Structures are given as C-alpha cells and as structure tokens.
Amino acid sequence: MKSNDPKSRFSSRVDTYRRYRPTYPTEMLDYMKNHCGLSSRSVIADIGSGTGILTGIFLKLGNTVHAVEPNAEMRIAAEEAFTGFPGFHSHDGSAEATNLPSRSIDLVTAAQSFHWFDLEKARIEFRRIAKPDSCIALIWNDRISEGTMFAEAYESFLNEFGTDYRQVNHKNIEDECIGTFFSPSSWKKVDFANHQDLDYEGLKGRVLSSSYMPNTDHPDFDVMVKALQNLFQHRSIDGKIRIGYRTVLYHNR
C-alpha cells in the first residue's frame, strides 16, 4: 500500500519512475547557462534527486553533481545508473539536512521535489550550502490538463482514481510561497514547452510512476487499468498519445 511518508512513498515505483517520467528540455539548460551561471565547471547539488533524471543531464555536461536523496531505493537506482561518472556523488540526505559542506555549491536544484519539503528548514539549508551569489533553481514538469480531449480526459481519470491526487499536487504551491522561499532575493519564473509521446505501455508506466495512483496491490488497480485501456483506445492517434507539459523554472536573481 501507499506510504504517507513523502520520503518513502516512491519506494515501490522506482522502475516506473526511472523509465517513464519525462526529462527536461534543452531550452531550459540553455537558459540556465545564460541566467543561472550553469557551466561545465559548476558544482551542483540536486536535492530530492530521485532516480537521477536531472542529475544525469548535468553529469553529461561534465558537472560535479551531489545527488541528495532520502529514499534508499531511488538513491540506489541512481548509484547503479551513474557508476561510470567520476563527477557523481550520492548522499543519503534531505532538503532539510543535505550533509553537504557549507558554501560548497554553485547551483542548487530541486526538480519535481520542492512540494515535499519542509520549506523553512529547506530554505535555511539551501542557503547554508550555497556559495555567495550562487543560483537556486526550482523545477517542475507541469502537465497541461486542458485544451485537448486527451488532456481533459486524463485529468478526469487522475481525479477519479488518484488516492490523494488533489492533496499532493505540486500545483498547490503558489507563487507567494515561492517568493517567501527566495526572500529577500528577487526571483523569476520562466517556462518551456515539453512533451512525451507514449504507447499504451508507456502511458501505463507514466500512471504507475505517480505516488498518488493505485499500485498493483491496491483494490482499485484492475478497475483503474481497464479505465486507462479505454481512455487510450478512444484518445490515441496511430497508437500513441501525447502528454504535454510546461517545464517551469523558478530561480533567484
């Protein structure tokens, strides 16, 4: 069954998370190079790094990356994936207690994870590990939930079957909260187009990667899968559906 502990609720979803969550667009990286000081020499702390979707992008750029992840199963998956990268450093830590040295980090990132943090404790910890004038970047792949028949039907599906979808949705984080987190620094919000084109197995994997959806041991699992099959059958085009996102980046200035 699903755990209510945000640091363990993804433990049974590591494989689907690693395989089926969307990555991040190159336009976002280009922006970070121009506005967040990102270069191949940057020392990065990726907080709530999970299976390493963003970590892997930075490693391929040549960065030293300290991946901080409290969930053991997700952390181990990243460690197995990045054994060949000398710049990869894995840490059993959290946003509130990273176990990193003070003033050691050029760029602090949190991708798909900020809404799980104790925000005041994380705010203190991020500033402790960051070098003076370093950048803090908060990132989400924000799924587009309206505008197409599939997007609206998929949103209805998540609302019907999600166990606590409304409660844990990152969209509950408002700009006022972001402003408080960055205070007293000013901050900026930008976004970039992103998408996934998925066959049925990919769509099913994407659903099961979400901690708020019934997993295989849930009594609603079979009914949910049948509804998903029906949704895909009626909304797919040439055996694929497209999930659209706006990749949203908040950063201090």
Comparison of pLDDT for 98 and 253, the residue scoring more: 98
Whether the CB-CB separation of 4 and 91 falls below 8 Å is answered with: no
pTM above 0.85, yes or no: yes
Q: Where are the alpha helices (DSSP H) in the chain?
A: 14-20, 26-35, 53-60, 72-81, 119-129, 149-161, 165-168, 175-182, 200-208, 221-235
Query: What is the domain-level CATH number for residue 189?
Result: 3.40.50.150
Residue 5, pLDDT above cutoff 70:
no
Q: Is residue 131 a part of any domain in this protein? A: yes
- Predicted pLDDT at 4: 52
CA 242, 246, 249, 250 torsion-angle sign: negative
The Cα-based distances of 67 to 26, 115, 221 in angstroms read 20, 18, 33
Mean pLDDT of 135-153: 96
> Residue 76 sits in which domain range?
11-143+169-197+244-252
Query: Residues 114-122: contacts with CB within 8 Å, 24+ apart?
Result: 114/48, 114/138, 114/140, 114/170, 114/173, 115/168, 115/170, 115/172, 115/173, 116/6, 116/7, 116/48, 117/48, 119/177, 119/180, 119/181, 121/95, 121/96, 122/47, 122/95, 122/96, 122/181
Q: Is residue 45 a part of any domain in this protein? A: yes
Mean pLDDT of 158-170: 81
| Apex 122 CA angle, 45 and 37, nearest 5 | 40
Q: Is residue 228 a part of any domain in this protein? A: no
Q: Is residue 223 a part of any domain in this protein? A: no
Look at the block and give the residue holding tokens 């979803």. Answer: 13
Q: Is residue 156 a part of any domain in this protein? A: no
- Predicted pLDDT at 161: 95
Structure tokens at 147: 């505008």
Q: Is residue 214 a part of any domain in this protein? A: no
- Predicted pLDDT at 1: 39
Amino acid occupying residue 212: Y
Among candidates 249, 149, 137, 135, which has minimal Cα distance to 191?
Answer: 249
Q: Is residue 104 a part of any domain in this protein? A: yes
Structure tokens at 62: 């040549």
Residue 119, pLDDT above cutoff 50:
yes
Q: Write out pLDDT tens, residues 201-238.
A: 999 999 999 989 999 999 999 999 999 999 999 999 99
Q: How many domains does the chain have?
A: 1
Q: Is residue 128 a part of any domain in this protein? A: yes
Mean pLDDT of 179-190: 94
Look at the block and give the residue holding tokens 């919000």. Answer: 189
